Amino acid sequence: MTDANLMTVPDAAADPARRKRSEALYFAVRNPKLIVGGTVLVALLLLAIVGPYLTDNPPNDYVGPKASPPSGDYWFGTTTFGQDVFSQFVHGLRTTFVVGVLGGGIAALIGMAVGFTAGYRGGRVDEFLNMVTNIVLVIPTLAVLLVVSAYLKARGVLVEGLFVGFTSWPWAARAIRAQTFSLTARDFVDLARLSGLRTRRIIFREIAPNMSSYLVMTWILLFGGSILIAATLDFIGLGPTNGTSLGLMMNNAVLWSALQLGMWWWFIPPGLGITAVVGGLYIMNVGLDEVFNPRLREL
Partner 1 sequence: MRRYFTRKFLIYLLTFFFAVSIDWAIPRFMPGDPVQSMLSRAALHPESATAMYDYYSNSFGLDVPIWRQYLNFWGSLLQGDLGTSVWLYPQPVSSVIANAIPYTLALMLPAILLSWWAGNSFGAFAARRKWLDNTALPFAYILNSMPYMWLGILLAWLLGSVLDIFPLSGGYGYGLQPEWSLEFIGSLLKHWFLPFASLFLVGFGGWAIGMRNLIIYELESDYSHYLTALGAPQRLIRRYAFRNAMLPQVTGLALQIGVIVAGALVTEIVFSYPGLGNLILQAINNEDYFLLQGAFLFIIIGVLIANFVIDMVYVLVDPRTRTGMRGATS
Burial 103-128, CB ≥16 within 10 A → b, else e:
bbbbbbebbbebbbbbbbbeeeebee
Give the integer Cα–Cα distance in Å for 148 and 238: 10
Give the residue, chosen from 8, 199, 212, 275, that forms a contact with partner 1 under the rule CB under 8 A.
275
Site residues for partner 1, 160-189, by CB under 8 A, read: 170-171, 174, 178
294 secondary structure, DSSP code: G
The identity of residue 123, as a single letter, is: G
- Give 148's contacts (C-beta < 8 A, 6+ positions apart): 159, 163
42: contact with partner 1 by CB under 8 A: no
CA of 45: how far to CAs of 48, 105, 142, in Å?
5, 17, 29
CB nearer partner 1, residue 64 or residue 287: 287
In sequence order, the β-bridge partners of residue 217 are none
Q: What is the DSSP string of 200-216?
A: HHIIIIIIGGGGHHHHH
139: contact with partner 1 by CB under 8 A: yes
Give the residue, chosen from 2, 154, 295, 299, that forms a contact with partner 1 under the rule CB under 8 A.
295
Give the integer Cα–Cα distance in Å for 189 and 103: 32
Q: Which stretch binds partner 1 (CB under 8 A): 5-13, 145-153, 185-193, 207-215?
A: 145-153
Long-range contact set of residues 194-197: C-beta below 8 Å, sequence gap at least 24: none
135: contact with partner 1 by CB under 8 A: yes
140: contact with partner 1 by CB under 8 A: yes
Smallest gap from Cβ 91 to partner 1, in A, equals 18
Site residues for partner 1, 63-82, by CB under 8 A, read: none
140 secondary structure, DSSP code: -
Helix (H, G, I), strand (E, B), or coil: what is residue 198? coil
Give the residue, chosen from 35, 137, 197, 216, that forms a contact with partner 1 under the rule CB under 8 A.
137
Give the residue, chosen from 59, 115, 240, 247, that forms a contact with partner 1 under the rule CB under 8 A.
247
Smallest gap from Cβ 197 to partner 1, in A, equals 26
Q: What is the DSSP string of 55-92?
A: --S-TTS--S-TTPPS-SSSTT-B-TT--BHHHHHHHH
195: contact with partner 1 by CB under 8 A: no
Smallest gap from Cβ 160 to partner 1, in A, equals 15
The identity of residue 182, as a single letter, is: S
CB nearer partner 1, residue 9 or residue 150: 150
Q: Which stretch binds partner 1 (CB under 8 A): 43-51, 85-93, 184-192, 247-255?
A: 247-255
Give the residue, chosen from 6, 9, 29, 143, that forms a contact with partner 1 under the rule CB under 8 A.
143
Nearest by Cα to 190 from 177, 207, 209, 215: 207
146: contact with partner 1 by CB under 8 A: yes
Which positions touch partner 1 (CB under 8 A)? 130-131, 133-135, 137-144, 146-147, 150-151, 153, 170-171, 174, 178, 224-225, 228-229, 231-232, 235-238, 247, 250, 253-254, 259-260, 262, 264, 267-268, 270-272, 274-276, 278-279, 281-283, 286, 289, 295-296
